[in-house]
Structure 1
Amino acid sequence: MQAHSSLGVGRNANWALIPFLVEMQALAERLRADASLHDAAYAPPSATSTWCSTTTARR
């Protein structure tokens, strides 16, 4: 399999990532589906959150 080089030697990083990405997809699906892994107390910041308004105003 050709790598990213004019000589065609080496290992192609894109192909090497496929097993990892498959594993990450399975993990992401489990994290969404398994309620025992959810934290009901967690409240992510909203898109209108003002937590960074003071830092952006200085720019």
Structure 2
Amino acid sequence: MSHKFEKTDTLIGYSSYNTSENEAHSEHKPSVIVRTIRKPDMTKSYNQNSDSNHQNRA
């Protein structure tokens, strides 16, 4: 969580510096939101698929 940005950082330097650290931040927040939204849907569809598979096998 260390911010190494300087006042002289340009957008290019900002983006190039953030390729690694900002991806962790930008991926962290959106991925958490996306995962919280998608996880229930994926688990529901997965459970439905597994249930239908069990029904088909039985």
- TM-score bin, normalised by smaller chain: 0.3 to 0.5
TM-score in terms of structure 1 length: 0.35
TM-score in terms of structure 2 length: 0.35
